[in-house]
Structure 1
């Protein structure tokens, strides 16, 4: 079956927000074997939305709409669809109760227009909203499936995953299990990875192989269909084995994991604490690390040592090191990692120093990065990488490389817990 995604909201056309909903839904529909050939964005205008619906109906079996389910006058999605399909909107008691409970719990006054969010298409399948107020819905008419979802991603994504996905699967009337697995790679570009497995991609049927590049990483989504779930998993296992036999040295995890998640897991498994000295990255490593639940058990703390004075005064970097080889150097990165571990009484110290741009520093080109790692009882290491891209991209990729080198280091290091 074919689908079209219609994002409703003038804020999208004005560039005030990015349409991440279309990307998310396209990925999910691909896993279900549904082709998405068109993305449409339309403002908060009933006439233009009606035209977008007419266009979509001519070329798609499933029409997904995001946005326009709220309480204000410009939220017109379900009203426009009800009129377009010549059906009624009715009050959903469960949704209304949930909205009333929300206002009671937050001790806010509920205005009458909030009741509008509990209106749904008559005879639709209601999709519960566990993270907001407006419910979603699935409605079928004339062999077309209409799915209405809220605009905020924090509401839309869990609603689709918890309720919409299974409800849509039932409508697809298939006895096949559809299983997907994402393989994550770092340290190899999309073109290089694709070259290594080009014959597998060219001959793909079931499972399918879908490459996707993100910031400094590459993922492969493997999707298999089979009436027997175990057979679908087996099909994916076979393809994964072939892929990893060629590029396995760059593989680091599955599905939604990240390089930071994997580094965190390595530290937790070995019972190690970490401290950070961040010059180039300005606290980015610690920010991402502390986003993971349980970070307080592993992170001792860190020092953002952006200036040379802080490097010398707080982290005891020898002024001669700064004078002779510079702050952007192997020697400085090494000493920062050792000294931050000792000063903060941590098992491990990690440091970042480099040139993010826009211009060179200390005679070193933009993108020059040194990452130091020290585990007590082991020799420190310093990894030098040459990165490209914007200032922000260099800093972001430096953190990823730090996670990558940290995990590698922990795999080979001898642990002496303090």
Structure 2
């Protein structure tokens, strides 16, 4: 069966931007693991007419329609009522769910209003999906070769319901066997166009597994996806493709899936039992903010000095006045002194410095995007890196921090 899945999230709060549609992301990931192709995401408010319109569109293009939200007790919870009308199905009480709701109110010593009983109403002939973490049950029903799945909106209820009951229902109803396994490879220090050029033939020849390049802020990622009935075989297919790719661009590879450069830096520092300190100018404490967001940062991060002005660089970091007068703050010489001084003042194994012109105007005659990063490792000659970055002021600062993490990781690998 060619599975064409559509997710319809119901709730005006989604359209108003009051909450993020995390349910659609979760479900898409789960359907991918089941080998179900998700073709469309739809969001509709708490309005029966607009929901009917969205369902009619979905019926013409999808054969699995999954709804989240609108199963609650209030008047604007109208998902199952609308679907029942469109499918010509009655709503009947699921007495197991009704008993569970009544027990909840008895246990909490609260009076149950009549509208709470509404949550126990389900489509006649539907398979009931138990709600172990809330009141409204979910349901699945097949009508005219289309499968309709109704799930609650709160993620704390929807996710366990899907894992414990909905997944099995779909596997049985659809006879699913083939699995889709994805793996994200993360790269830094190479542009998206260059990476695609380096693996162009692999992209052109892709069938199974597939390669999907994705761009992030100063990074490039590749999502590899393989389909196979055996998950182990699918992973072997991904391993083979990853190996081919990294034979060409492996020097820029730094991690998998949801990892970040700062996370990888944290791991490397922990593994090598080294500490780092930062002297920040244009980044204004951003490096420190990122690294201290990591659990256990106190074991690897000694501290930082934010010396935004030349006066602070002289008085706090002890950068020489001569260096600043002859070369300026945006210079290789200043970056070296900043990195070495913060390392020695704070007493860390590694000192890193960030100085440059983030914009919107040039600084000391240096064009916007000119950045120097210094890395001073105890017992080794200090390294400096000159960058010519583009983008907004904030984008330049973010890229600067990421490059700093990248360079420290390179040094740690050599230790």
TM range (shorter): 0.7 to 0.9
Q: How far apart are the structure 2 equivalents of 1:332 and 1:154?
A: 52
Distance in 1, matches of 2:132 and 2:314, equals 54
Q: Which residue of 2 aligns with 1:175?
A: 177
Q: Which residue of 2 aligns with 1:139?
A: 140
| Equivalent-residue separation in structure 2 for 1:164 and 1:370 (angstroms) | 54
Give SS of 1:191's match: helix
Please provide the CA RMSD for this pair. Answer: 3.6
Decide which of 375, 378, 386 is 2:377's aligned counterpart. Answer: 375
CA contact 1:72–1:113 (8 Å) conserved in 2: no
Q: Partner residue of 2:301?
A: 299
Alignment of 1:52-131 (within 5 A): 52-68=54-70, 73-85=75-87, 86-88=89-91, 90=94, 92=97, 96=101, 119=120, 121=122, 123-126=126-129
CA contact under 8 A between 1:138 and 1:145: conserved in structure 2?
no
Q: Structure 1 stretch 247-256 or stretch 25-34: which is displaced more?
A: 25-34
Q: Secondary structure at the match of 2:311?
A: helix
Identify the residue that residue 46 of structure 1 maps to in structure 2. 48
Alpha-carbon deviation of 1:287?
A: 2.1
Contact 2:102/2:112 (8 A) holds in 1 = no
SS at match of 1:53: helix
Instruction: String of CA shifts for 1:16-45, please: whole Å, max 9, x gaps.
Output: 666565456545544543333333232221
CA distance change for structure 1 residues 117 and 383 in 2, over 3 Å: closer, same or farther?
Answer: farther
| Cα separation, 2, equivalents of 1:164 and 1:301 | 49
Residue deviations 1:218-268 (CA, integer Å, cap 9, x gap): 222222222333322222222112111122222111222211111111101
Q: 1:155 to 1:117 in 2, by over 3 A?
A: farther
Answer yes or no: is the 8 Å Cα contact 2:59–2:146 preserved in 1: yes
- In 2, the alpha carbon distance for the partners of 1:351 and 1:163 equals 53
- The alpha-carbon distance between structure 1 residues 75 and 218, as it changes in their structure 2 partners (threshold 3 A), is farther
* Bigger Rg, structure 1 or 2: 2
Deviations 1:162-208 (A, max 9, x none): 87666644544223343322211112222222222222222222222
- Which residue does 2:404 correspond to in 1? 402
Describe the superposition over 1:276-311 as per-residue Cα deviations: whole angstroms up to 9, x where unpaired.
222222222222222222212211222232233332
Superposed CA deviations along residues 82-129 of structure 1, whole A, max 9, x for unmatched, are 55443536473798599879x97xxx9999699589657455453768
1:4 alignment counterpart: 6
Shift of 1:156: 6.5
Runs of at least 5 residues in structure 1 that lack an aligned partner in the other structure: 414-418
Report the counterpart of residue 313 of structure 2 in structure 1: 311
TM-score, normalised via structure 2 length: 0.83
Matches within 5 A, 1:258-277: 258-277=260-279
User: Structure 1 residues 295 and 49, CA, compared in 2 at 3 Å: closer, same or farther?
Assistant: same
Q: Which moved more, 1:134-143 or 1:386-395?
A: 134-143
**C-alpha distance in structure 2 between counterparts of 1:124 and 1:369, whole Å:** 61
2:188 is matched with: 186
Please report how far the alpha carbon of residue 74 of structure 1 lies from its aligned counterpart in structure 2 after TM superposition. 3.9
Indicate how the Cα distance of structure 1 residues 371 and 43 shifts in structure 2: closer, same or farther if over 3 A, else same.
same
Task: Tell me how far apart the structure 1 counterparts of residues 244 and 6 of structure 2 sit (CA, whole Å).
Answer: 34
CA separation in 2, counterparts of 1:114 and 1:320? Answer: 78
Q: Does the 8 Å contact 1:12/1:19 carry over to 2?
A: yes
Does 32-41 or 265-274 show the bigger shift? 32-41
- Whole-Å Cα distance in 2 between the matches of residues 337 and 114 of structure 1? 66
Instruction: Count residues with an aligned counterpart.
Output: 407
Q: Which residue of 1 aligns with 2:341?
A: 339
Distance 1:55 1:177, change over 3 A: closer
What's the secondary structure of 2:316's corresponding residue? helix
Structure 1 stretch displaced more, 304-313 or 69-78? 69-78
Residue range with higher mean Cα deviation, 4-13 or 252-261? 4-13
Distance in 1, matches of 2:284 and 2:251, equals: 30
Moved more, 162-171 or 304-313: 162-171
Displacement, 1:59? 0.9
Alpha-carbon distance in 1 for matches of 2:287, 2:104 = 39
Instruction: Sort the Cα spacing of 1:365 and 1:134 in 2 relative to 1 into closer, same or farther, 3 A.
Output: farther
